[in-house]
Structure 1
Amino acid sequence: MTERKSRKDAARNREAVLAAADDLFTRSGSPEDVTMADVAAAAGVGKGTIFRAFGDRAGLLRALYEVRLEPVREAVESGPPPLGPTASPRDRVPALLDAVLCFKLDNRRLALALEDGGSGSPYRAEHYQRWHGLLRAVLEQIPGLADGDFTAHALLAATRADLVEHLAAEERVPRERMRAQLADFTARLLAADPPEGGKGAANR
């Protein structure tokens, strides 16, 4: 009974911490302004509870990111076209990128905190590798497209959180214009034939 109660308490505390962190990141002007102490106080738990549940600040950010991302993941894995797996590759690639962009626009501060706050290469982060792997797999289904691995990196670079934040906050680019620009960039990249030098370099 005590063990079951302990598990329930841990689950309840985890939900309280995630809800508090979600609210604080939504209202904060800067991701760095939100501290673990702030989250603990808002959730009504001790900082030790957060560290036990999430390991560190980066772990908390990843957990919150995954919670918010769940509806997008479900749509990607089992939803209808153009985002779901039954869509044609040429339709699915821009839909995937649009989903990533919209998610980062809707979660600007959280995405910025997660991408800026990790240690080591951001390209080794689990969330980045997941998107890159999925996008690369779809790109490789397009006949004649060279080097899906690099193309996936290049396309995802257009959805980096710091770029999204710069365009949205500094240049005041409207959401729909940003989406249209990304769609146009993607369409032109997928339609372009690689130059002969590029083909040779890829084969060397």
Structure 2
Amino acid sequence: MTLPQPERRTRKDAARNRQAVLEAADALFARSERPEDLTMADIAAAAGVGKGTLFRAFGDRAGLLRALYEARLEPVVEAVETGPPPLGPTAPPQDRVPALLDAILCFKLDNRPLALALEESGTSSSPYQAGHYAHWHDRLRSVLEQLPALPNPAFTAHALLAATRADLVEQLAGREDVPREQLRAQLAEYASRVVAAR
């Protein structure tokens, strides 16, 4: 009988613990009314692991939030990079811009507590310094650059993405109780007007 190698067992334990932490964090953020109050200790207790395990696997709270956000976001990123029109890379830019913003908005509506917690934990308390923001800005700017008469695609990308900020989504969907389909329609109209105004 061959016993498992200690290193292999350690890697399996680490992978299992990482998954348990992500699942526990996912559940906690989904039902939390104040995601900023969730601590690493809360998440460790819910996952059944020590706090040190969290810090070894994710570095800090922001690292855990990023890992959870990226895991949830993976299908959206895949659709943007390889999916069919109007979101995928073969769609005309005037169709792709509203579709891209709609995908981001829907993701944030579906993940409001997590998106809010992550954007509030950006470098220097600025969501604009976070890696996920840079990803979406680069992606949107590259689509806008395909519209030759559009001035300053980089600024336009910032202005359009401002309409999908988690704090604005929370204000509109959470505090003002604006229906989801109304938010989507308003954003689509805004994005289409910006693209058409070139």
Whether these two folds match at TM > 0.5 is: yes
Partner of 2:40: 36
Equivalent position of 1:89 in the other structure = 93
Q: 1:25 aligns with which of 29, 33, 36?
A: 29
Q: Tell me the residue number matched to 2:111.
A: 107
Question: What is the aligned partner in structure 2 of residue 136 from structure 1?
Answer: 141
**Counterparts in 2 of 1:1-204, with a 5 A limit?**
1-120=5-124, 121-193=126-198
The Cα offsets for residues 129-179 of structure 1, whole Å up to 9 and x where unpaired, read as: 000000000000012111100000000000000000000111110000000
Shift of 1:190: 1.3
In 1: Cα distance, 2:134 partner to 2:123 partner: 15
TM-score (norm. length: structure 2): 0.95
Structure 1 runs of 4+ aligned residues shifted over 2 Å read: none
Q: Which amino acid aligns with 2:175?
A: E
In structure 1, stretches of 5+ residues that fail to align are 194-204
Structure 1 residue 124, shift from structure 2 partner = 2.1
Q: Distance in 1 between matches of 2:45 and 2:82?
A: 38
Cα RMSD over matched residues?
A: 0.8
Please identify, of 181-190 and 114-123, the stretch whose mean Cα deviation from structure 2 is larger: 114-123
| SS at 1:177 equivalent | helix
- Pick which of 52-61 and 116-125 moved more: 116-125
Q: Deviations over 1:38-88 (max 9, x none)?
A: 110110100000000000000000000000001101111111011111111
Letter in 2 for 1:57: R
CA distance in 1, matches of 2:196, 2:91: 18
- Number of equivalent positions: 193
Paired letter, 1:32: E
TM-score (norm 1): 0.93
Deviation at 1:192, TM superposition (A): 1.7
Q: Distance in 2 between matches of 1:189 and 1:12?
A: 46
Separation of aligned partners in 2, 1:6 and 1:139: 47
* Identity fraction in percent: 74
Q: How far did 1:33 drift?
A: 2.6
**Separation of aligned partners in 2, 1:179 and 1:27:** 24
Secondary structure of 2:123 counterpart: coil
